[in-house]
Amino acid sequence: MSPPQTDEDAHLKAYNAAFSELNLRFRWGMDTLHWLDALDCNTDRARIAKYLEVCQPHLLKAYDIDFLSQLICSKQNEHYRNFGEPASVA
């Protein structure tokens, strides 16, 4: 039996689902999420924007950072609503 999912796990899973849906080739681990939080990136859009600036700057040659971070954030929120739901007890 696997341990219960935390809110942080649900956020991470939602970020990676959004990246996958948008055909972005990167995935985040818990270490990336903690690194971004340590930089005071405490909103989804701020995390995404900082990550893009530091780790994926080539994407910003083709996409506006506000557009791309909002698009990823929107997809992440859609997935989070599914992953963040508590499991039903049968």
Question: pLDDT of the chain along its 90 residues, tens only?
Answer: 455 578 889 999 999 999 999 999 999 999 999 999 899 887 899 999 999 999 999 999 999 999 999 999 999 999 999 876 654 443
Instruction: Give the pLDDT of residue 90.
Output: 39
pTM of the predicted structure, to 2 decimals:
0.84
Residue 83 makes CB contacts below 8 A (sequence gap 6+) with: 5, 10, 13, 14, 17
Instruction: Give the pLDDT of residue 88.
Output: 42
Cβ pair 64, 52 in contact under 8 A: no
Instruction: Give the pLDDT of residue 41.
Output: 84
